[in-house]
A = this chain, B = another copy of it.
């Protein structure tokens, strides 16, 4: 059985290589540059190999999105755990979210802008996505305010952050006032 196990290991390793390469290429040159031909060339296999791992390009994007969601959850928890008090935690959370989006634009696109074929706000939503939302909720439910459902509050807060992240990155909002916008947002939304 050892032969088969080795093959499975190699297959899994190659799958990780595909996802990592797709992500790298997307961060370097944008998702438009991530074509199946270029991706195949970079991993030094032919195109059809990609399709033995994923149904298509969409699923590759989805895989990058899941990886990104896991990382984002870690980053958010790291930022909030280093902060003292609810108010500071929320501010740190917002900054960490926007920072992640800014530093990993391609991953952020995979998660929230592109179609990775993932289910959201659903029972069969993949765990990493649920967990990223949970990471937001953990710091937000203490500032949701009386009589406000924490999940609903988190959705609104998240939407605001998402709007800031995307509009800023696409040049729709001037980047220099980001910090002031974060402060205003936290000031108003969070019930300290």
Contact = CB atoms under 8 A, between A and B. Distances in A.
Contact of A159 (B120, B153, B163, B189): B163
A173 interface: yes
A19 B171 CA distance: 24
Binding site secondary structure of chain A: helix
A112 B172 contact: yes
A184 B121 contact: no
Contact of A120 (B155, B164, B171): B171
A9 interface: no
A162 interface: yes
Contacts of A159: 160, 163-164, 167, 173, 181
A174 B155 CA distance: 10
A180 B163 CA distance: 18
Interface in A147-171: 148, 152-153, 155-156, 158-164, 166-167, 170-171
Given A113-B113, A148-B184, A156-B184, A166 B172 contact: no
A55 interface: no
**A: contact size bracket:** 20 to 34
Contacts of A167: 112, 155, 158-159, 162
A166 B166 contact: yes
Interface of A: 112-113, 119-122, 148, 152-153, 155-156, 158-164, 166-167, 170-174, 177, 180-181, 184-185, 188-189
Given A120-B173, A159-B164, A162-B167, 13 more contacts: A112-B172, A119-B171, A120-B170, A152-B181, A152-B184, A155-B177, A156-B164, A156-B181, A158-B163, A160-B163, A162-B166, A166-B166, A188-B188
Which 6 residue pairs are nearest across A and B when measured between Cβ atoms? A159-B163, A163-B163, A160-B160, A162-B163, A120-B172, A159-B164
